Amino acid sequence: MRQFVLAANWKMNKTPVETAAFFQTFLSGFSPSPGRQTVFFVPALDITTAIGATNGRGVGIGTQNIHFEKKGAFTGENSAEAAKAAGCEWTLVGHSERRSLFGETDLITAKKMKLALECGLKPMLCVGESLDERTAGETMKVVERQLTVGLEAMTAADWASVTIAYEPVWAIGTGKVATPEQASEVHTAIRAWLERRAGAEVAAAMPILYGGSAKPENFREIASQKNIDGFLVGGASLEADSFLKFCAW
């Protein structure tokens, strides 16, 4: 049985004090359940606070980005080794904002995937097409390229630690959510790709999350579709009550 994963991506929001206050409210309404994972990708400067606040409460903490080298002269970057040592279990890789605003290429995501695993972090690879690419009928071409390159170095032992998030770029932060059919179509194609790449067992076990304007009002219909195994939630994860609605589903 594959896991259902509810992941919050806070992006560049919340101070340590706001982080502590969030978890106080969130944890008063949260109980972990079997077959489910709850993860918060918090800003690097909030990681220590988030780990301290959630210790032993069945919630995983992740970093939103890592550098692809283990250490060195990379001013301002996040070390995967340090994230792990600080208590992170997870990292995002290849979020569309990293790709479009910070020049992250497919080759860079491939290096980050490998290093994350080497450092004991569970990488969540984000893929998704722009509006132009969708309009041009290139959605699956783009997503398959991102998967092929980003996951190129995965070995049989790696797959169990990998998660995929499908986030159509045109739906991120726009309030324009993919229809349940659009999401399910791409998720089903991603699972078929995985089956070809890594076999039926890996494909069946892989959580594939949807992200892009997921809200308490619209996620249930998407969640009920085939091949949707969770959500990567931006804006609607910033308020505890709102994200609790996803977790209580």
Residues 92-121 that bind ligand 13P (CB under 6 A): 95
Among 69, 82, 235, 242, binds ligand 13P (CB under 6 A): 235
Among 227, 234, 243, 246, binds ligand 13P (CB under 6 A): 234
Instruction: Using CA atoms of 80, 81, 84, 89 in order, give the dihedral in degrees to the nearest 10.
Output: 40
Q: Is 102 exposed, middle or buried (CB count within 10 Å of its CB: 0-12, 13-18, 19+)?
A: exposed
Residue 153 · residue 160 · CB < 8 Å: no
Which lies closer to ligand 13P via its Cβ, residue 11 or residue 191?
11
Residue 180 lies near ligand 13P (rule: CB under 6 A): no
Q: Where does the chain have alpha helices with state H?
A: 16-29, 47-54, 80-86, 96-102, 106-118, 131-135, 139-150, 180-198, 200-205, 219-223, 240-247
Residue 134 · residue 97 · CB < 8 Å: no
Least gap, CB of 234 to ligand 13P (angstroms): 2
Among 123, 180, 212, 230, binds ligand 13P (CB under 6 A): 212
Residue 167 lies near ligand 13P (rule: CB under 6 A): yes
Which lies closer to ligand 13P via its Cβ, residue 82 or residue 238?
238
Residue 233 lies near ligand 13P (rule: CB under 6 A): yes
Least gap, CB of 39 to ligand 13P (angstroms): 11
At 232, give phi and psi (nearest 5°).
Answer: -110, 110
Rounded to an integer, what distance in angstroms lies between the CA atom of residue 148 and that of residue 154?
10
Which lies closer to ligand 13P via its Cβ, residue 87 or residue 235?
235
Is 187 known to be catalytic?
A: no
> Where along the sequence are the contacts to ligand 13P (CB under 6 A)?
9, 95, 167, 172-173, 211-214, 232-236
